[in-house]
Amino acid sequence: MKTPRLPLALQLAVMRCLRDKLAQANLKLGRTYPEPKMVYRQRGTSAGTAWLDAYEIRLNPVLMMENQQAFIDEVVPHELAHLLVWKHFGRVAPHGKEWKWMMEEVLGVPARRTHQFQLESVRRNTFPYRCTCQQHQLTVRRHNRVVRGEATYRCVKCGEPLVAE
């Protein structure tokens, strides 16, 4: 799938959200954390990722175009919170108590680990796996790691290992 050209208005809305939330965090934390670099090249089913060492946020342009306001309201603060937690606390659990605190108390956003966006447009070849409570779709990369014996994945709901169907 070709990456869509992002309208300037959407990019400006992303930056406005980022700057507002960063200013809010700096005020509440009594710090002056810098503005991270924004990159619109995240691929796959991830809405965004925070790259700690590079101090940058990578956003998925396809999911952003399909879920504009929800994306801005949820994904931008989510990834910013990862960077702020890293600056404020150092390396800790990615969605641990520090991140939850940063999301809810500092940024004023519900702390959800995963997005609920429709993924049909970004899902390429996936492989069906099952746990005791539901079916999962693993990406080619994860499926190949299971096949090579390099990884085992578990359901976040029931904790059981995923098994190929």
Which residues are identified as catalytic?
A: 79
Residue 12 corresponds to which tokens in the numbers above? 């400006």
Whose tokens are 């800790």? That residue is 92
Residues 6+ away with beta carbon under 8 Å from 160: 131, 132, 133, 154
CB atoms within 10 A of CB 55: 15
Q: Are strands 48-51 and 56-59 parallel, antiparallel or unpaired?
A: antiparallel
Q: What is the 8-class DSSP label of residue 78?
A: H
Whose tokens are 């390099």? That residue is 150
